[in-house]
Chain A
Amino acid sequence: MSSAVAARTEASAAAPGSARPILAATGLSARYGHVEALHGVDIRIGEGELVAVLGPNGAGKSTLLRAIMGLSANSGEVAFRGELLPRSDAVAVATRGIVLVPEGRGLFPPMSVADNLELGAYRLRDKAEFNRRRERVLTLFPRLKERLGQAAGSMSGGEQQMLALGRALMAGPKLLLLDEPSLGLAPRVTGEILETLGLLNREGLAIVLVEQKAPLALELANRVYLLSLGRIVAELNPRDITSHDDLAQHYFA
């Protein structure tokens, strides 16, 4: 873990968001059904950064990820590497290399692990690159290798989360959006998955991690946004947060 800590320190040495942003959202609002669940949110993700978005249930965390992805009716602007993303066009967003692992993982339960992985690389036509990615994913998650022929829905929660992450990696993401990867998992499995995320981030992958379990996220993140009732209420350096009370203070500030 020491190298992880070092990497984090280095990245966060720069002022928050001042790194060249891979993604910048301004005035992002989104509706969820008839309810406006996000009100004019501004966020920036630097290249190679791991940003955590924390907040209680119903704060709009998932909606934020869906809005970036173009999956919900939204207003405001999202720029990816300086280029505006088309509104409400998830296919176009996905094509640019932004990959979402949605709440509940979004796997195809009746399909095999192999087929799920293959669908991750759906837009890839280069066979050599496909094999390279597949090899990489199976090295990261050796357990998937044992279960290639098994239906995704028949695996344990932890394995399914590995598959969801593996499938996202098959797409060759430049920015990974993760919606509560720890949900419903045993602490040991969560640790395993977060460790892998740390590894990927150290290799330079930008990640937005939405979590309810703050301590887990704080350990990995370069920067933290606090979201409450659809608004960003604070932007913090994780090192400044030493206890759960600190977080609570920010919410009520």
Chain B
Amino acid sequence: MKQTFWATSLVASVAMAGISPAIAQETYKIGVSAGLTGYAATVDRAWRDGVELAAAAVNAKGGVMGRKIQVIVEDNRSEPQEAVTVYRKMLSSDKVDVFVSGCVSAGNFAAAGLLLRAKVPMMLCSILPQQAEHLPWAFTTLPPAGFEVEKRLEYLKEKTQIRKIAVLHDPTPYANLQKGVAERNAAKFGIEVVSVDQYKQDDADLSVQISKARAAGAGAILKIGLGGTTLTAAKNIKQLGADMLLLTSLEDLAVFGPVSEVLGDKFFFVASPSQVYEALPEGGLKTGIKAFLDPWREKFKDRDPNWASRGWDGVMLTVAAIEKAKSLEGEKVRDAYETLSGFQGTTGVYNFRPDLHQGITENPFVLATIAAGKVKVVQ
């Protein structure tokens, strides 16, 4: 019976302690559902750090509408059902005012219905939900999928003789969207896509796909997707002795050093403005990035700023929307998001419209390579 008692009391205390409401404070609460563990960890940890850095900067200047910003971060383990739980927790227990959530798109999709009902908007790292009724409450800092692809096609057209390319992509939604753009738009640049192949993020060998691309006559490979596979692809290209360029997606700069050692001047990558800050011309963009990059470097040294810079933008866009709406209310902030235009962020200029919740409308990306250990912009 002693064990019985023990178990009962444990169970009871779990039930009671589990779900006690947080004490309300006079702060403006930003909720972050981020995959701090799981596949999105690298990206979403950076996103979170960007959000927290921005909140600290805003608070140092007295907050927004007289309120300090409080950031509440919950780990969704990169899984949709966990995301639903943490969104729910932040909505009902923490009474979050707005979400500036990370890159686990499935998690943001799964929770989109909740936000609609709670009338709380979200500014995302990931792509927008697919469901039409969910769209009004979701906004994203993500540049359109085509931009990364088009920058690469543009370079091939203008600076090379290559007119046949291969596309290599992973199965994530964002990569799939980009693949679609490549297939549809290549012709506009006078380029033909001669082979399209998918790989998995944990593949240890891509030589089959690369051989196929070479056999189809491709002079360059557009690789779409993140992770260690970029280095794998580079090594395979070298092993096969294939005379091809490798043009990869936006990624943490740390990944590119080893790749460049393998392929040298045959390797190019898409970079966001914050990653090539030093090479940028003076102007609005550089000033915008500087506001973020100074505190970022002070705190995180030479850690890649790309994902964090968009997290920073997410908070700054929210602050701008609040100030424009002169209200902290979810519905008013949502309306204000839709009217933000010409907003200079770290990733480019945001122009939201009621019918356009993906604010970046001009391609902010550059194409870069690594020459003599330094990042060099080529397009």
Say if the two chains contact directly (CB < 8 Å). no
